[in-house]
Structure 1
């Protein structure tokens, strides 16, 4: 298991981290209208999952803007999913105010299934660590980044290059 820090302090991630080549675990989350959404709802599509702790921080805002901009060039070929433990109302407010319209924003706050199944849940904070997971059309994990220091941005170039190879 990789060491993850938040502000330089080590944190504990619940469960095992996913690895490239793993079958992507399904999970339940809720969208901005409180509707349940599962990974399997995106069956047959390539999926880029952008994982972040809280929409109300500057780094998370940048991350969502970067992937929203990237998503515009893929049309419906790729499902760009942004997930955190923020309440759906906060995600909806942010997306509306910031013009984020190419991402499916999901809240993992209720059941924390994504965080637990993918090893992103921070035990001490009940927030998700920062990272990116890319899953192919056959639901196999093809790219994973657990950002070592949660206050830093993910490697956008590496993630988007990995995505290009699948589309």
Structure 2
């Protein structure tokens, strides 16, 4: 279990992020068309997992915009934006914002993603949502970078995540 804060108040997660050099746990997540996708579908690519509570908050929305913009310059890299939001909300946001380079995915159907990546918030008013985190997976499927953002209301360190891909 890891500890983060929300507005300065301590919040616990269900576990810890995968360790650097560990094989990234596979998952099944839901795309905006309600089909499922897994980590193995992106085999051979660098993968940035932008994990957050809800697309309908300012900081979460900003992280999707930032990674969408910065991802265009990265070769053989995909950005997966993962929240517990319903795919309909993700599609609405991405359509309205013109998000083309970041792929919205939902873990609303299956709790195993949150458990396997240690990101499920287990207390507070946000219990059940994902903690703000970034995990970078290299072309070989190994974790090359992780960040559990200490204050949920803060943005992740985009430059460190992007540097882990370069």
Q: Deviations for 1:62-113, whole angstroms, at most 9, x for unmatched residues? A: 11000000111125x1111110000000000000001111111100111022
Structure 2 match to 1:13: 13
State how far apart, in whole Å, the 1-side matches of 2:2 and 2:13 are. 9
Structure 2 match to 1:57: 57
Deviation of residue 147 (structure 1)? 0.1
1:43 aligns with 2:43: yes
More helix by proportion, 1 or 2?
1
Deviation of residue 121 (structure 1)? 0.7
Structure 2 match to 1:70: 70
State how far apart, in whole Å, the 1-side matches of 2:48 and 2:102 are. 10
Whether the 8 Å contact between 1:29 and 1:113 is mirrored in structure 2 is no
Whether the 8 Å contact between 1:17 and 1:120 is mirrored in structure 2 is yes
Whether the 8 Å contact between 1:24 and 1:139 is mirrored in structure 2 is yes
State how far apart, in whole Å, the 1-side matches of 2:82 and 2:36 are. 13
Structure 2 match to 1:121: 120
Bigger mean CA offset, 95-104 vs 4-13: 4-13
Aligned ranges for residues 63-102 of structure 1 at < 5 Å?
63-74=63-74, 77-102=76-101
Runs of 4+ aligned structure 1 residues displaced above 4 Å come to none
Q: Deviations for 1:26-46, whole angstroms, at most 9, x for unmatched residues? A: 011100000011111111111
User: Which of 124, 139, 163 lines up with 1:161 in the alignment?
Assistant: 163
TM-score, normalization: structure 2? 0.94
State how far apart, in whole Å, the 2-side matches of 1:16 and 1:8 are. 20
Deviation of residue 159 (structure 1)? 1.1
State how far apart, in whole Å, the 1-side matches of 2:26 and 2:140 are. 13
Aligned length: 163
Cα RMSD between the aligned structures?
1.1
Unaligned runs of 5+ in 2: none
Deviation of residue 3 (structure 1)? 2.2
Structure 1 match to 2:151: 149
Deviation of residue 15 (structure 1)? 3.0
State how far apart, in whole Å, the 2-side matches of 1:17 and 1:50 are. 13
State how far apart, in whole Å, the 2-side matches of 1:9 and 1:115 are. 21
